[in-house]
Chain A
Amino acid sequence: MDMPLKQKIFAIVLAVILLGIVFELVRRRKLKIEYSWLWILTGLSIPFLVWRYDLLLFLTNISGAVSSTSTLFAFAFFFIILLNLHFSIVISDMQNRLKYLIQENAILRQTIVELTDKKTKY
C-alpha cells in the first residue's frame, strides 16, 4: 500500500517550509544551531516517512493505531513533548546563568561603591 500522491506532495511541501523557516532563522541568528536540531529532525522525519510509508504502516500496526494518520499525530505529539522538555531544560539553564549574573552584578556594584569610597578618602 502506497501513500496517495496528494498526501505525499502536501507532506513534502510542509517539510520544505518547516526546514526553510528553521534554516532562515539559524542564518539570521534568531535561532541558535544547538537549539535547531530537534526542529530539523522533525522536518526531515516527514519526507522520510513519505519515502518509507511502509515503516509508518508497520509502526501503525505494532502500536495498535487504527490508521496511519493517528500514528503520525501520535508521533507529532511526542515530538512536541520532546521539544517542550528541551525548552524546559534550556530555560532552567538560563535561569541558573541569570541568577549567577545577578549575584555577580550585585557584588560588583558594591565593590565599585567601596573602591569609590576609598578613592574619595585619599
Chain B
Amino acid sequence: MKKAILIPVFNEEVSIKVVIDSLLKLRDRYDIIVVDDGSYDKTPDILKDYDIVVLRHCINSGYGAAIQTGLRYLYDKGYEQAILFDGDGQHPVESIDVISLEQIKQKKDIVIGSRFLSGYEDVGTLKRIALKFFSLIIYIVTKVTIKDPTSGFKCLNRRAMRYYISDVTPLSFPDADAMILAIKSGLTIIEIPVRMNKRISGRSMHYGLRAVMYMMNMFFSLILCVLKSDDELKMEE
C-alpha cells in the first residue's frame, strides 16, 4: 500500500529540520512529501539537504492550496493513503501509525487526530468556544460529531484525496466547512484521540485580526456549505 506523509510548510526554518528528522525513521512505510508554500526564510535551503519530494509554490498561496497541491501529486502518483502532518512540530510522530491503521481498520475515508478526545485541551478560551461552535454547526447540519474540526492531523484515503482536490472543497479555510461538505458528499469521518505537542516555533496562522477575519470568513463559508445542494456534491464511485 502506497502511503505518504504530506507536510505543508511556510517559513518553518526553526522547526522543519526537527520534524523531518523525526519522520525519517518511518520512511520504510511512508514517503515524505513536503509542500513549501513559497517560504522566504531558510526553509527551502534546509529541505534541499533531504532526499524527499519537495513541491515548491513559487508564490505563497495559503494552507489550503498547499494541501491541495500535495494531494493532487499523491493522487496522480497512485498513493492510497495520505497523512496530513504540520511542519511546526505540533503533531505527534508516534500517532502516525495509529491514525494510518485506524483508517484501514475502520474503513473510513477521513480519520482526524483530535485533541479533545484525549482529555488534553491546551487551547485558549476563545478558540475553545469557536471550536465548540463549529462542532455544533457540523452536528446540526450532518448529525455527525466532530470535536476537533480544525485539526490539521488527518489521514485520507483516495476518495478523500479526490474530494480535497475537487472544485467542491472550500480551499481558503479547509476546516469545519470542508468537513460539512465532505460528509454531505458521502465521505465517512471518525476521530481518534491524539495528544498534540507544543509548537516548536512561530505562532498559529490565526492570530490577532486574522483570527477575527478567520471566524467571519468561516461563518460565511459554513452558510454557503449548508446551502449547497446534495446534487452538487455527489461524488462518483
Residues of A whose CB lies within 8 Å of any CB of B are 98-99, 102-103, 105-107, 109-110
Contact A106 B59, beta carbon cutoff 8 Å: no
Sample 15 A-B pairs with CB under 8 A, ordered by A number.
A98-B59, A98-B61, A99-B61, A99-B171, A102-B65, A103-B61, A103-B68, A105-B57, A106-B55, A107-B55, A107-B69, A107-B72, A107-B76, A109-B56, A110-B55
Residue total for B at the interface (Cβ-Cβ under 8 A): 16
Contact A105 B58, beta carbon cutoff 8 Å: yes
Q: What's the minimum C-beta distance from A104 to chain B, rounded to whole angstroms? A: 9
Contact B59 A103, beta carbon cutoff 8 Å: no
Contact A107 B73, beta carbon cutoff 8 Å: yes
Q: What's the minimum C-beta distance from B234 to chain A, rounded to whole angstroms? A: 23
Q: What's the minimum C-beta distance from A70 to chain B, rounded to whole angstroms? A: 34
In this complex, what residue of A is CB-closest to B38?
A102
Q: Which residues of B contact A106 (CB under 8 A)?
A: 35, 55-58, 69
Q: Which residues of B contact A110 (CB under 8 A)?
A: 53-55, 73
Q: Which residues of B contact A109 (CB under 8 A)?
A: 55-56
Q: What's the minimum C-beta distance from A93 to chain B, rounded to whole angstroms? A: 13
Q: Which residues of B contact A99 (CB under 8 A)?
A: 61, 65, 171
Contact A102 B61, beta carbon cutoff 8 Å: yes
Q: What's the minimum C-beta distance from B190 to chain A, rounded to whole angstroms? A: 29
Residues of B whose CB lies within 8 Å of any CB of A are 35, 53-59, 61, 65, 68-69, 72-73, 76, 171
Complex alpha-carbon distance, A40 and B69, angstroms:
40
18 A-B pairs besides A103-B57, A107-B69 with CB distance below 8 A are A98-B59, A98-B61, A99-B171, A102-B58, A102-B59, A102-B61, A103-B61, A103-B65, A103-B68, A103-B69, A103-B72, A105-B57, A106-B69, A107-B55, A107-B73, A107-B76, A110-B54, A110-B73
Q: What's the minimum C-beta distance from A117 to chain B, rounded to whole angstroms? A: 10
Q: Which residues of A contact B54 (CB under 8 A)?
A: 110
Complex alpha-carbon distance, A98 and B171, angstroms:
14
Q: What's the minimum C-beta distance from B181 to chain A, rounded to whole angstroms? A: 17
In this complex, what residue of A is CB-closest to B76?
A107
Complex alpha-carbon distance, A80 and B118, angstroms:
54
Q: Which residues of A contact B73 (CB under 8 A)?
A: 107, 110
Q: What's the minimum C-beta distance from B49 to chain A, rounded to whole angstroms? A: 15
